[in-house]
Structure 1
Amino acid sequence: MIYALLSAGFLAVAVLGGVLFARAAGPSRPVWGAVAAAGAALLVLTAVFDTLMIGAGLFTYEAGLVSGVRVGLAPVEDFAYPLAVVIALPALWALLTRRQAVPAGALLRQAWIASRPVSWVNTAFPFAAAMLLTTREIDWLLVVGTLYYLVPYNLAMYGINDVFDYASDVKNPRKGGIEGALLPPAFHRPLLWLALASNVPFLIVLLAAGTPASAVAIAVSTFALVAYSAPGLRFKERPVLDSLTSSAHFVTPAVVGLALAGAHVDSGLLIALAAFFIWGVAAHAFGAVQDIVPDREASIGSIATAFGAARTVRLALVLWLAAGLLMLAVPWPGPLAAVVAIPYLLNCAPYMRVSDAESGRTNRAWRRFIWLNYLSGFLVTLILILFWSVSS
């Protein structure tokens, strides 16, 4: 019956959202007859394909977790999700595209750019790795959480930032590509709605399926997501707190994954998480150096504007070195991950004496940093595979 309660909660949120979206859309609200026809077709297809997949043995449902009512072989709870989509999505679409002020296609293109696809893996990988290494199996919760931290989470994290940083971003020459979107004002409000609508359903599912510990982790993660850029908080303008919050954006998905999986917390795990967190602080601090000049012109504070370019670069070097050394203290094969710090140290070291006036030169290293993350992910994946084989 747990699955039934989860589905009912998901459906209730969709109904509430659909009503609110439809009311806000006004004259642009969807044609519900057409929506009903499309919904009926979607429900039939759900019954057919669920039955085929369950019959083929691709997945099963534990008897104690479902009500027992089935359509074909598909549990009736499975129909909550397509029904939720039918109820909420057309109304949301009508809201976002009302009066054609913001064409839907243009909004989706802007959302794609704002979410920084090149960085999606940086949040999805920690969550998925944490859960998979703990549970040793792929289940629906792993899939849902990974999808959430892959796209909606990044849309919210970077989208909120792009909306409320627009005034300063227009003066920053590096904005407008993979390093940061330059979001036109007409898209600000629709993008915030899209971020909210894409995040809330996933968060409800993760909260409903989790424990008090995972709920705390999700709350911290979500708060950090909003607090970094949102007016009234703007942690990104508070030196040192900006780097701490930015690092939390990447470490908390791993903590959420560990909590959802019920991981046993020991000293090795805490040290590994501390190393990851320190790595994240170093990454943000070094990234802030390239923006010292435009940030000061826009009266925006950051760890780099407070410490200066050279001192911030040296701080990043110390932190990356500390993260590598900490990994030497975790159980085998964790110490192998210490080598991951070396490329970052080599990339950062040439700028130890960079002046504030020339801080923009570090953008070259930052562009390399973006791609170094993929090399690091590859190396960490190999180490995790070795860990899996050693501990099996």
Structure 2
Amino acid sequence: MTYLWLALAFIAAAVIAGVIFARQGAQPGETGKHWKAVGLAFAALAVLTAVFDSVMIGMELFHYDASHILGVKLGLAPIEDFAYPLAGVVALPGLWMWLTRIRKQSSESRTESRLKGLVPQAVLASRPVSWINTAYPFAAAMLLTTREIDWVLVVGTFYFLIPYNLAMYGINDVFDYESDLKNPRKGGMEGALLQPHLHRPMLWLAAITNVPFLLVLAFAGGPAAWISLTVSAFAVVAYSVAGLRFKERPVLDSLTSSTHFVSPAVVGLALAGAEVTPGLVILLAAFFLWGMAAHAFGAVQDIEPDRQAGIGSIATVFGARRTVRLAVVLWLVAGLAMLATPWPGPLAAIIALPYIANCAPWWNVTDTTAARTNVAWRRFIWLNYGSGFLVTLIFILHWSLTS
């Protein structure tokens, strides 16, 4: 089978699924806007695919058998490569619309059973837009260390992609329900508003989907992996559950949140048996500072609902202005720290600049206007994708220099 037929199969399945999902999930008058957005998204992904694939092919990281492709290329990227972003952009937005509509319908129904709507709400609670933020560090850490794809890499990447996020955000949404009721941001991309009858099933679902993966990954590693997995799992639980609630302990909340994103990389390094070097320690420290800055800045927009709910956070204690300034400083130090890492690590220093530029306009924000920073926070979510692209290019350069 040639790549063309395989690609066409993916596209056909995606188109069918995308059309069905869009019809089921779209509100009246939304269909036209939906497909225009799909077109714009694919145009952006096509450009990134052409650049990204051309760079990798140009560096001879992989190649295609000429007998299996048409020979039509954009740059160095075969036309077949564009099938996968096309399939994703056609199917996934419709799926999101459908799941969102199911969530709204299920929350309005008073006769639903105890478990009805659990899966759609669990997907929303896991923040699909942020899945990559935890899976990527793990996969990159393992792949750059071992330089091979094995079952541990595949299992670990899947775990940190979905089950891990389900636990991290699902547990948080359960224990934050009362405060989330007062938070206008909740109920969509920035957090689900789980109905009370789903709280206990959500906790069970988080446990059932996480414990087996943790055991398998622990079995695959040694003491270093056991410790890092324990710290990672503890941080996920301790951040939200009653009795610990690290999210209500100023500064510790940002430290714990950063651990959520750095620990997958540490787990990957531990499973791969990576050598601990000063450069690696500095890189992880820079990543950790980035995570603290992200959490601190994100907490600013919730100052009012958090105070109404009696929740303490780094932002409610320091105040909006000081917290924003702290976030800017942390991102700046993270960028400067990357200058001390081995080449091509210093190139990553520039990645701090978009975050600083996004945050700095709020340098003098007040507690009464803190909610307006949500505009910058929404940009931050998408900045992560652009930063991930740049980090990937740096990883590719590192791979080529050390191979």
Displacement of 1:102: 2.5
Q: Scaled by the length of structure 1, what TM-score is found?
A: 0.74
Distance 2:368 2:307 in 1: 11
Match for residue 368 of structure 1? 379
Is residue 2:166 matched to residue 1:155?
A: yes
Distance 2:226 2:287 in 1: 21
Is residue 2:291 matched to residue 1:280?
A: yes
**Matched ranges for 1:89-168 at <5 A:** 101-104=113-116, 106-168=117-179
Distance 1:107 1:360 in 2: 30
SS of alignment partner, residue 274 of structure 2: coil
SS of alignment partner, residue 357 of structure 1: helix
Q: Any conservation in 1 of the 2:115–2:201 contact (CA below 8 Å)?
A: no
1:336 to 347, 354, 357: 347
Match for residue 220 of structure 2? 209
Letter in 2 for 1:207: A
Q: Scaled by the length of structure 2, what TM-score is found?
A: 0.72
- 1:316-341 per-residue CA deviation (whole Å, 9 max, x = no partner) reads 00000000000000000000000100
What CA RMSD, in Å, does the superposition of the two structures yield over aligned residues? 1.0
SS of alignment partner, residue 156 of structure 2: helix
Displacement of 1:100: 7.1
Match for residue 197 of structure 2? 186
Distance 1:102 1:134 in 2: 45
SS of alignment partner, residue 178 of structure 1: coil
Q: Any conservation in 1 of the 2:115–2:198 contact (CA below 8 Å)?
A: no
Count of aligned residue pairs for this structure pair: 293
Is residue 2:256 matched to residue 1:245?
A: yes
Structure 1 outlier segments of 4+, above 2 Å: 99-104
Letter in 2 for 1:153: Y
Distance 2:253 2:400 in 1: 38
Displacement of 1:146: 0.3
Match for residue 199 of structure 1? 210
Match for residue 6 of structure 1? none
Distance 2:393 2:379 in 1: 22
**Matched ranges for 1:287-306 at <5 A:** 287-306=298-317
Structure 1: where are the runs of 5+ without partners?
A: 1-98
Is residue 2:401 matched to residue 1:390?
A: yes
Q: Any conservation in 1 of the 2:139–2:157 contact (CA below 8 Å)?
A: yes
Distance 2:370 2:364 in 1: 10
Match for residue 84 of structure 2? none
Structure 2: where are the runs of 5+ without partners?
A: 1-110
Distance 1:344 1:301 in 2: 25
Match for residue 366 of structure 2? 355
